[in-house]
Amino acid sequence: MKRERIDIALEMAYIHPGIGSILLIGPTGCGKSHRIRAFFQEQGIPLVTIPIYATQETLCDHLDIKETLQKGTLHTEEGLLSKGRGGVIYIDDVDHLSCEQWRCIRQQQYSKEKGLPIFTLVGTINTSENEIDRAFINEFDLIVVMCNPTKEERITVLRDLARASKQLERQEMVKTCVTDIQLPQKEAAYREKMASRCLNIRLDDSMRQLIAEYCTANGIVGNVKEICIGRAASAIAVLDNKEYVLPSHIETAIRYTIFTAGNRDSPSGNTNMDNVDHKDEGKKDGQEKHERPQNNIVPPRENKTVTDRESNVKGQWPTIQLKDQGTEDTIVSGKDNESKQDGSCNQIKMTMQKQSDGTARGNNQLKKDKEKVIPTPENYNALAFAVKKRMDSFCRSGAGRQMTTHSKSGRGRYIRAVKSKGDSRDIALEATVRAAALRQGGRREGPMAIVIHKEDIYVKLRETRVGRHILFVVDTSGSMGAKERMEAVKGTIAALLQDAYEKRDVVGVISFRRMKGEVILPFTRSVVLARQRMEQLSTGGRTPLAEGIRMASNTLQQLMRKQPMARPLVVFVTDGRATYGSTDNPVEEAYQAGRQLAMLQVDGIILNTEQGPITVGIAKPLAEIMGAAYYHLDCLKDIHIIGAIAAAR
Amino acid sequence: MKKIYPFSAIVGQEVMKEALLLNAISPEVGGVLIKGEKGTAKSTAVRALADILPPLSDAEETCMKVVELPVNATEDRVVGTINLEQILQKGEKQFEPGLLAEAHNNILYVDEINLLDDHVVDVLLDAAAMGINTVEREGISYSHPARFVLVGTMNPEEGEIRPQLLDRIGLSVDVYGERESHKRVEVIKRRLAYEANPDAFCESYEAEQQELRHRVILARKRLQEISVTDELLEAITTISITLNVDGHRPDITMLHTVRAMAAWEGNAVVTEEQLLRAARLVMPHRMRRKPFEETTIDWQYVAEVLQRKQ
């Protein structure tokens, strides 16, 4: 196996004591874990693996129960993070850690005295399923993207496997692969020497200037990344056997430390990361506005400061948004099926909505490309985005992405132990024993090694993800744009269901036309079911708006009866022209139904699809009555406004 | 205890049965995901499999067994936890093994795998990936081997599975209810006979069961003799690249599957027909799916590409 970017990154971390974390991103099964384990085994560096369901107590140092009980004095046991001191801590699927665990790890990582990391953190992220959280990714010092293997690599792996006899253990396999990696065996002394070279290398002011300029131009907030780039550049310079850091080292360092699109190993040495392939910049640019400012990458523009991002960002600079709020983007590896270049993936091209054919014969894609399926009016993207934005803000204002509940049924991931408030269900045994161990003095002796009293009891704090129920109420009447509305809704549902299994969101659809409403899709997480039900929908007839709203009310009430913890979001897609009702005044009926719905106090969005110069629809006043967010289809196309709204929240 | 419904008494469902048998022959195939409506003999088949599984190796007597993971299993039960007695009586922390420990070298059967809690799936993934279960909870730091064959059943209309988990399952099969009426009649007849007198029913199929067991053992022995040529590797990787699947696992699974297939059907060399048949088992759940679009793989095209390469 050739020396690839990951090997170089690992080596950089190996020699530079200031580099504390490496992230390896790639699709499933491309050998991330494999390479990492091989590298560190070959170097003889201990690797402490932390599974993502490790509880907080095991991460940090904790009481050694046996010793304490036997000797009567406080003895502590090393936690996982302490065991990793001076070595490497390895976490697979690091983005699945809960916030608490992550914070705990990061806090422990940096020593207070020197500000240098006490262990190296190596993590992997799988791109096959999740939305990529760019903010999270950029928390790592070095970032390496891996791609799907080439034909040669596939054949080599197969060949090795075929050669392996039945008894060959996985570790053995790793060893055979390791000998192919051309890294000389390094000793501790060598490492010391390299470390001191890294720390003492000449980093001129002009170089620092370069780094600072790049970061400013790209709107990288905070100075952490600058320090990272400096350190990475030092390591690269040392590996290059130079005494001082050159601009080329900095350019290389940037590719390893900043996660953006357009990380290309271009032969030209300019730091001007032009990526001229993006012809459709204009369209996608606007959609980035909702992003937190520090992660935008914008071109340097005269007369505009870095905060002026609301205006059109066109040009050759790649703009990405990965934590997409309903809009899609794909990270495409630079290889296509035919080219058999070296295995390292050096390019991450961001593809826009239209690209090569979507059949299985198309390019490699790291993420699904939903837009190709449905003819894409931009507004469907926008609707999905609006929905997700609403959900997110609701989340943030409430209990956060993951609701931490003391689950009575014992379901959910065990995070840590907390003192019991009287109940003794779901006892955290070890924590309880720990607490009791410290209070044994004065307690009556018994047959047990330890006497537990009620005040010692700790229970398990569990974390569950509570998804949202999203109910679409769609106007399928004959008024203009019924089909377009349906496309918008279908696309949004596709976007939402895409990661529904992860976020546990559930989607349902009600339509209304002619004289009544109809449940098209009962609440489901299944893309299969959604597809089946949404296939053919009849349109036409008058608009029984009141009926639609009433049906939504009923459905939501039923839902909340069955699942009191549900946090439904109702999305109306209509032109607001109420033309049918059971009374003479359909408009007033609709208002009445709206007031009823408002009493349920559910979160809502109304998307007005009314076109034309004369507007008689009641979508906006209805939104006011219901306390729902109001959008007009046309406005959604102009995502800047959405971004402004989002930023204002 | 009631006797398990015999594997050889299951009517039809040849593809599903083949997928399960391939795993019995070569556990490296990596398990099966059985997708289908209710009442299509999914659970029956998996439980019946237990009865024809071969011994772990020539020396051993104990056969592989099927360990069931219920859909409401808690993390503790799956991963393992701290032994209550030991810590209370002696103040010593001891590991109490969970289902993963039990499933080592066996088949782990998860019914309704798409409804499993996220964190339990995380645990499974971790163990399925490295073959080791690392326990870091309740002050216990322990790892033990957990190499198992994952067999899952699900109804696709109830929800999706994470792609990461899909990648770790070797084969996938879509099952449908029998359409032909005479087969449906046969299903009912046999079921009634079984329920009326399970012992007698099983006895009547014992000869077939024995033969099945024997064939599986033979096939296992033949595994190593199947020749793995460069052409075969070339063909496998061509299929993977044509279908644009992620990572190395599809290739590896294909290799194990075609070997098992050839061993089962008595060939010395893998045929192209077997290659394509194996691909139909290995590839469909690994296709990157676009919602609202049927993933119909153009097998004709795949066959053509293979022809061209030769």
HSE-up (13 A, CA, CB side) for residue B2? 11
Looking at the predicted structure, is the pLDDT value of residue A442 above 70?
yes
Test the B interface: residue of A30, A49, A50, A53 with most B CBs within 10 Å: A53
For the segment A576-594, the average pLDDT, to the nearest whole number, is 83
CB distance B132 to A94 below 8 Å = no
Subunit contact A414:B139, Cβ cutoff 8 A: no
Subunit contact B89:A28, Cβ cutoff 8 A: no
Question: How does residue A504 score in pLDDT terms, banded at 50, 70 and 90?
Answer: low
Q: What is the dihedral of CA A202, A137, A352, A376, to 10 degrees?
A: -160
Looking at the predicted structure, is the pLDDT value of residue A420 above 70?
yes
Closest CA to A229 of A243, A245, A217: A245
CB distance B33 to B173 below 8 Å = yes
User: What are the backbone angles phi and psi of residue A643, rounded to the nearest 5°?
Assistant: -60, -40
HSE-up (13 A, CA, CB side) for residue A515? 2
Strand locations in chain B, DSSP E?
Answer: 32-36, 66-69, 80-82, 95-97, 107-111, 132-137, 140-145, 149-154, 171-175
How far apart are alpha carbons A148 and A365 in whole angstroms? Answer: 9
Task: Look at residue B266 and give its three-state secondary structure.
Answer: coil
- Which residues lie across from B141 on neighbouring strands? B136
**Which residues on chain A are in Cβ contact (under 8 Å) with B156?**
526, 528
Q: How far is B252 from chain A (nearest CA, A)?
A: 6
Q: How far is B125 from chain A (nearest CA, A)?
A: 10
If you count residue pairs, one on A and one on B, with CB atoms under 8 Å apart, how many are there?
A: 233
Overall residue count recorded for chain A in this entry: 649
CB distance B43 to B153 below 8 Å = yes
Choose the catalytic residue: B77, B190, B249, B289: B249
Instruction: Give the least confident one: A55-59, A159-163, A261-265, B56-60.
Output: A261-265
Subunit contact A30:B240, Cβ cutoff 8 A: no
How far apart are alpha carbons A224 and A227 in whole angstroms? Answer: 5
Long-range contacts of A628-635 (CB under 8 A, 24+ apart): A628/A570, A628/A572, A628/A603, A628/A604, A629/A386, A629/A390, A629/A604, A629/A605, A630/A605, A630/A606, A631/A383, A631/A386, A631/A605, A631/A606, A631/A607, A632/A607, A632/A608, A633/A379, A633/A488, A633/A607, A633/A608, A633/A609
* Mean pLDDT of all residues belonging to chain A: 69
At residue A25, what is the residue type?
I
Q: Please give the helix or strand (H or E) that residue A608 lies within, else none.
A: strand A603-608
Taking phi over 0 as left and psi of -120 to 50 as alpha, with beta for the rest, A327 belongs to beta
Nearest to A65 among B93, B141, B233 (CB): B93
Non-local (6+) Cβ contacts of B182 within 8 A are none
Instruction: Give the least confident one: A319-333, A501-515, A569-583.
Output: A319-333
Subunit contact A148:B134, Cβ cutoff 8 A: no
pLDDT of residue A30: 82
Non-local (6+) Cβ contacts of A145 within 8 A are A5, A25, A26, A259, A263, A331, A345, A348
Nearest chain B residue to A32 by CA: give it: B247
pLDDT of residue B176: 86
pLDDT of residue A279: 32
Pick A614 or A637 by higher pLDDT: A614
SS3 readout for A236-251: HHHHCCCCECCHHHHH
Q: To the nearest whole percent, how much of chain A has pLDDT over 70?
A: 64
CB distance B48 to B107 below 8 Å = no
Looking at the predicted structure, is the pLDDT value of residue A615 above 60?
yes
Nearest to A429 among B138, B157, B298 (CB): B138
Pick A305 or A476 by higher pLDDT: A476
Which tokens go with B9? 């008494």
**Which residues on chain B are in Cβ contact (under 8 Å) with A428?**
138
pLDDT of residue A538: 74
SS3 readout for A209-229: HHHHHHHHHCCCCCCHHHHHH
pLDDT in tens, A201-255: 888 888 888 888 888 888 787 788 888 888 899 899 888 888 888 888 888 888 8
Q: Please tell me if residue A159 touches chain B, with a CB cutoff of 8 Å.
A: yes
Closest CA to A529 of B111, B159, B163: B159
Q: What is the DSSP string of A337-395?
A: SS----S----EEEE-SS-S--STTS---SS--GGGTS---HHHHHHHHHHHHHHHHHH
- Which residues lie across from A570 on neighbouring strands? A471, A604
pLDDT of residue A605: 85
How far apart are alpha carbons A577 and A562 in whole angstroms? Answer: 33
Subunit contact B248:A31, Cβ cutoff 8 A: yes
pLDDT of residue A485: 66
CB distance A275 to A262 below 8 Å = yes
Q: How far is B251 from chain A (nearest CA, A)?
A: 7
Subunit contact A412:B122, Cβ cutoff 8 A: no
Q: What is the dihedral of CA A525, A531, A537, A542, to 10 degrees?
A: 30
Looking at the predicted structure, is the pLDDT value of residue A405 above 70?
no
Distance of alpha carbon B148 from the chain centroid: 9
pLDDT of residue A286: 35
Q: Using only C-alpha atoms, what is the Rg of chain B? A: 21
Nearest to A55 among B138, B228, B252 (CB): B138
pLDDT of residue B163: 75
Beta-carbon count within 10 A of A32 CB:
24
Q: Please tell me if residue B144 touches chain A, with a CB cutoff of 8 Å.
A: no
Nearest chain B residue to A165 by CA: give it: B224
Pick A407 or A548 by higher pLDDT: A548
CA distances from A74 to A69, A152, A454, B93, B138 (A): 9, 58, 22, 17, 18
Instruction: Give the least confident one: A45-59, A292-306, B11-25.
Output: A292-306
How far apart are alpha carbons A127 and A125 in whole angstroms? Answer: 6
pLDDT of residue A227: 87
Query: Token match 């992230």: residue?
Result: A23
Q: Please tell me if residue B130 touches chain A, with a CB cutoff of 8 Å.
A: yes
pLDDT in tens, A324-383: 222 333 332 333 333 333 333 333 222 222 233 333 333 333 233 332 333 334 444 566
Pick A528 or A293 by higher pLDDT: A528
Q: Please indicate whether residue B249 is annotated as part of the active site.
A: yes
Subunit contact B139:A62, Cβ cutoff 8 A: yes
Q: How far is B189 from chain A (nearest CA, A)?
A: 33
pLDDT in tens, A150-195: 888 888 888 888 776 444 444 444 444 433 333 445 567 777 888 8
CB distance A237 to A246 below 8 Å = yes
Which tokens go with A81? 């993070």
Nearest to A52 among B76, B122, B140 (CB): B122
User: What are the backbone angles phi and psi of residue B228, rounded to the nearest 5°?
Assistant: -110, 100
Subunit contact A126:B92, Cβ cutoff 8 A: no
Looking at the predicted structure, is the pLDDT value of residue A294 above 60?
no
Q: Which domains does chain B have, with CATH numbers?
A: 7-175 (3.40.50.300), 230-309 (1.10.8.80)
pLDDT of residue A346: 31
Non-local (6+) Cβ contacts of A266 within 8 A are none
Subunit contact A526:B134, Cβ cutoff 8 A: no
- Which residues lie across from A472 on neighbouring strands? A509, A571
Residue A266, Cβ density class (10 Å: 0-12 exposed, 13-18 middle, ≥19 buried): middle
For the segment A307-311, the average pLDDT, to the nearest whole number, is 31
- Which residues lie across from A458 on neighbouring strands? A419
Task: Look at residue A311 and give its three-state secondary structure.
Answer: coil
pTM here?
A: 0.70
Closest CA to A22 of A126, A110, A135, A144: A144
Which tokens go with A560? 């909340």
Q: b/e for A591-622, b at 16 or more Cβ within 10 A?
A: bbbbebbbeeebbbbbbbbbbeeeeebbbebb
Residue B268, Cβ density class (10 Å: 0-12 exposed, 13-18 middle, ≥19 buried): exposed
Query: Token match 């549900």: residue?
Result: A566
pLDDT < 70 positions in chain B: 1, 56-61, 289-295, 310
pLDDT in tens, A62-111: 878 778 777 777 788 888 888 888 888 999 888 878 777 888 888 888 87
pLDDT of residue A301: 33
Q: How many helices (H) and strands (E) does chain A have?
A: 24, 17
Q: Please tell me if residue A35 touches chain B, with a CB cutoff of 8 Å.
A: no
Q: Please tell me if residue B27 touches chain A, with a CB cutoff of 8 Å.
A: no
